[in-house]
Chain A
Amino acid sequence: QSVLTQPPSVSGAPGQRVTISCTGSSSNIGTDYDVHWYQHLPGTAPKLLIYANNYRPSGVPGRFSGSKSGTSASLAISELQAEDEADYYCQSYDSGLTGWVFGGGTKLTVL
């Protein structure tokens, strides 16, 4: 059971927009700790996609965006492409655990 809750799967057709939610609690996202997102392709290392809620590292396309409100955060992917098919994880800090916590991951399928 992950501390942060994500939907197990989402799907969308090429060109569409999808969102992935990440729900936490008052000891992590709700305490104003930032949320970060990673893209993970099987057999490879995860890749930082969004940091500090809504900032993109250099090289990450503008189709990826993040937001945070209250105890939840979201990752939006617009103009879906086949190469976006991957697992996506949210991550934050938890004051009770005094360490990082991850979501359980969401598998994105591009139809």
Chain B
Amino acid sequence: QLHLQQWGTGLLKPSETLSLTCAVYAGSFSGHYWSWVRQPPGKGLEWIGEINPAGTIKYNPSLKSRVAISGDTSQKQFSLKLNSVTAADTAVYYCAGGDSGWYVDFWGRGTLVTVSS
């Protein structure tokens, strides 16, 4: 069964860059859609962006100016970078994947990222 393992820095200062990576195990990287979703404390889920099997990347318009998603087929990994973070970016960040691109079949365990001075 395909599963995802994610890692990255959990504590950042304002204006720093958030960096997370997600590795795909027991399954193929190509042919799936890979996404990042976050959940601020006490709030709902928010889609950050996606990289599709063709390598096309889409972002949530509200984050587009600060976010970058990339994929490495050879390493079976995809990554998230979010620059100029503020306290509002404090959240649990999930990597996610799916077969169709319309919903999530596979979820990472989540990484709590806290932005604090």
Contact = CB atoms under 8 A, between A and B. Distances in A.
Contacts of A2: 44
Interface band, chain B: 20 to 34
A89 B61 CA distance: 21
A105 interface: yes
A44 B108 CA distance: 9
Nearest to A51: B103
Contacts of B49: 99
Contact of A98 (B58, B104, B108): B58
B99 to A, nearest CB: 10
- In this complex, the member of A45, A52, A89, A102 whose beta carbon has the largest number of chain B beta carbons within 10 angstroms is A45
A103 B44 contact: yes
Contacts of B104: 36, 38, 46, 48, 91
A111 interface: no
Using C-beta atoms within 8 Å of the partner chain, give the interface range for chain A.
Answer: 20 to 34
A101 interface: yes
Contacts, number: 60
B45 interface: yes
Nearest to A2: B44
B71 interface: no
Interface in A52-111: 52, 57, 89, 91, 93, 97-105
B72 interface: no
Given A36-B102, A36-B103, A99-B59, A45 B45 contact: no
Contacts of A89: 44-45
Contacts of B103: 34, 36, 48, 51-52, 91
Interface of A: 2, 34, 36, 38, 40, 44-48, 51-52, 57, 89, 91, 93, 97-105
